Structure 1
């Protein structure tokens, strides 16, 4: 049996100020226990049996994320763990697996009240251990939560960037192929003997088409009918590649009437090469436009991430357009919204004032609330996310509503507690709402929730500056 003495306990930093008599009492009430490698000192959901002082061996502390072990710490000899006086953590929240043969002193939970009432210095020392443990553990988990959030952000951003980046590559490849066809087309056009007036008509028509910005949007049925009409007209006039031309000309709002008007200024034997030359120019224009749009999308995503995190700004409060932060958050979470088949409905106050906030921090609030709403609706396979902004008097409100299953009454009072989560193991750390609540509180605001099946609303209320400035929704 391992002999534990009061002198040895006093050699521990946490217990060095505790009188020897109290430490001896602790020893007399405790048991020395040994565990083999691979055994568990504690498991999630299992009550702690007491306060543990490790004499020999080591214990690995970890949780599960996506069914993978995530090591948080290792307790070695002279470490104090388990249940401590005044702690609410009577049930283990993490795994503690023995790494090497373990010998520890176990002070039973049943004697805690006697400890508190009769041994002040020992109680004080153990409470100090508890506060240090909570602070260190909270800091560690918060950092882990940030890394998880960063991982989600990175994954979503990578997916969002993949589509426009692939579009740029496809467009560039198609444009290169199109440019390679230009010499042959030029040779055919150069062989024509067009009068200057005829050249001007073709050039003018091309410029009109390229500069047209208000092209009507056709339904699929209208588009199909238009393509059929153009195809028949092109076929009747012996135009090569009629099918490709009909599809392209439809997109650029050509009609048979416009083709007839152009035909009236071109000799019949020149129609096919000139129409195909127009077609090739329009294809080139379309490819350039697609590349431009994809590049703009990439730029928009990068800008959204930058403004979302406010990487180039400090932490001081600044008058901020909350709508911009919400929009950036929706961009960041766009993939998850589409993947979960969720419709976003925004009811934004067009006269919402600027609000003095730390923009990067307040965007964390929108991220946590919207991300939780998406997860809540995930069980439905679809959902409606409603975001409403308003202002009254000297405050603004942002309400985020989902039509998920709701929050049961028996846990509604616990949702803002740190480490409390209803998500499956590995799906959440229970800090998202705690972080959001703390950020809102730091801004002198309120975070409230109302929930019933099919309608859960988190409302953020923030104070305004004395002289609000108005922005457009």
Structure 2
């Protein structure tokens, strides 16, 4: 077993500047403990002891969430854990288990007042360990929650990006095949004989239809009726490929009357090749238009992702429109919202001035609250999410409510506690609302919740100018 003396303690950076006399006092009043592998050191709710210095082996900290074990952190050789001077945490929040044969130098908690009173530098060292532990844990917590938030969004984003990407690939393949030169069609086009006055008249009729801005979407029944009427007209006028052509002309809302007006400007012998040529141009335009729409959808999604994560921006507080962040969050969660058959009601006070805050972190607040609301409404198979913003003097207030089953009264007091969750393993870390509260506290604000069966409302409030 490792012998613990002053030189061993001074090999740990935290004790380098502690006087030897104080370290010897600590050794004299501490106990060398050996714990077997797998032995439980403490359980949730038990009073914390220590501090404990790990000499050999390790300590694994974990929690049980909905019957499943979740590991959080492991302390190894040279690490210090347990109760520290001035620590506010007096009881364990989870389990600690020995990893390997554990050897610790354990200081009796009841002697801490004497340590604090008589040994300033030693006390300072332990307080330094505690502050580092809080900082490191907070950083780990934030990183874990960011990764959890990314996980929440990734499946939906993959679906959102895949749809337009697949459409682009499909339309580009179709366009390539469509643009291949057909010998017969080329010959028919070259053989068209038409006067300049007829071209001008045809142009006028075509663009009368194509420039109409009122593209009223037809019902399925109306669309089928229009295609049938166009097909019949083409057959009556001996237009080749009439059935196939009807779809492209229907896409641009050509009526039989429009076709008749166009035909009046075309020599009878050229009707079939001319309408096939026009159809070719319409199909090409439609495919390019579809590719443009799909490309814009991808660009908009990428823009939403950049705005959501606040990439390419400084990490300090900045003035920004709070509604942009909320809308980007809804875009990011769009797939999950549609999948859950959820209606979103946005009631924004558009007169709100820009708010000063950590924009990326605020987006994490909206994500966590909205995602929880979606999960809650999942039980009903549908729901309504209402988001309302308003000004309250020098503060902005954001209310996010859902019509899910509500939060049980016995659960409500604990929802902001770290690691507390009622979700099954893999769906929640128990950190989401704790992170929400911590971020809003960073903004000198508050988070309140009201819940009853059929309605839960989170009210986030913070100053406009932090």
Give the shorter-chain TM-score range: 0.7 to 0.9
Give the C-alpha shift of residue 252 in structure 1.
Answer: 0.9
* Structure-2 separation of matches of 1:64 and 1:161: 36
Question: Does the aligned pair in 2 maintain the 1:62–1:73 contact within 8 Å?
Answer: yes
Cα–Cα, structure 1 residues 62 and 392, in superposed 2: closer, same or farther, change >3 Å?
Answer: closer
The structure-2 alpha-carbon separation of the partners of 1:96 and 1:12, relative to structure 1 and needing over 3 Å to count, comes to farther
Say if 2:66 and 2:422, in contact at 8 Å, map to a contact too. no
**Residue 276 of structure 1: CA displacement?**
1.7
Contact persistence 1:33–1:103 (CA under 8 A): yes
Q: CA 1:6/1:265 → structure 2, altered by over 3 Å: closer, same or farther?
A: closer
For the residues of structure 2 that align with 1:83 and 1:424, how far apart are their CA atoms? 31
Please tell me whether the aligned partners of residues 61 and 94 of structure 2 are also in contact (alpha carbons under 8 angstroms).
no
**Secondary structure at 2:213 match in 1:** coil
How far apart, in 1, do the equivalents of 2:360 and 2:283 lie? Answer: 43
SS of equivalent residue, structure 1 residue 147: helix
Q: Could you say what secondary structure the match of 2:387 adopts?
A: strand
**Correspondences of 1:71-470 after superposition (within 5 Å):** 73-82=73-82, 88=89, 90-93=91-94, 96=97, 98=99, 100-104=100-104, 112=109, 114-115=110-111, 120=116, 129-181=129-181, 184-464=184-464
Judged with a 3 Å threshold, the aligned counterparts in structure 2 of structure 1 residues 465 and 145 are, in CA distance, closer, same or farther, namely closer
Q: Structure 1 244/306 Cα, relative in aligned 2: closer, same or farther at 3 Å?
A: same
Deviations 1:358-414 (A, max 9, x none): 333322222222222223223333322111122243333211112222222233233
Per-residue CA deviation, residues 61-91 of structure 1 (Å, 9 max, x unaligned), is 5679999998755422343435667554634
Tell me by how many angstroms 1:151 deviates.
4.3
How has the CA–CA distance of structure 1 residues 398 and 438 changed in structure 2, closer, same or farther, with 3 Å as cutoff?
same
Distance 1:72 1:464, change over 3 A: closer
Structure 2 unaligned spans of 5+: none
Question: 1 CA distance for matches of 2:160 and 2:283?
Answer: 26
* Residue 310 of structure 1: how far off its partner (Å): 2.9
Whole-Å separation in 2 of the counterparts to 1:255 and 1:288 = 23
Looking at structure 2, the residues matched to 35 and 190 of structure 1 have their Cα atoms a distance apart, in angstroms, of 92
CA distance in 2, matches of 1:259, 1:422: 64
Per the TM alignment, residue 188 of structure 1 is displaced from its structure 2 partner at its CA by 0.8
Give the alignment's TM-score, normalised by structure 1: 0.82
How many residues align? The count is: 455
Return closer, same or farther for 1:317/1:119 CA change in 2, 3 Å cut-off: closer
1:291-339, Cα deviation, whole Å (9 max, x unpaired): 1111111111122222223323324444322222211111122222223
After superposition, the CA RMSD in angstroms is 3.7
CA contact (8 A) 2:418 2:434 kept: yes
Q: Provide the rounded CA distance (Å) in 2 between the counterparts of 1:153 and 1:64.
A: 25
TM-score (norm 2): 0.83
Sort the Cα spacing of 1:320 and 1:132 in 2 relative to 1 into closer, same or farther, 3 A.
closer
Distance 1:5 1:254 in 2: 92
- Do the aligned residues in 1 keep the contact of 2:30 with 2:106 (CA within 8 Å)? no
Alpha carbons 2:205, 2:261 under 8 Å: kept:
no
The within-5 A match list for 1:34-45 is 34-36=35-37, 39=38, 41=40
Question: Contact conserved, 2:399 with 2:459, CA < 8 A, in 1?
Answer: yes
Whole-Å separation in 1 of the counterparts to 2:66 and 2:321: 36
Question: What is the SS of the residue equivalent to 1:373?
Answer: helix
Give the deviation of 1:281 after TM superposition. Answer: 1.0
Unaligned runs of 5+ in 1: 467-473
Distance 2:2 2:159 in 1: 60
SS at 2:240's partner residue?
A: coil
The offset of 1:104, in angstroms, is 4.2
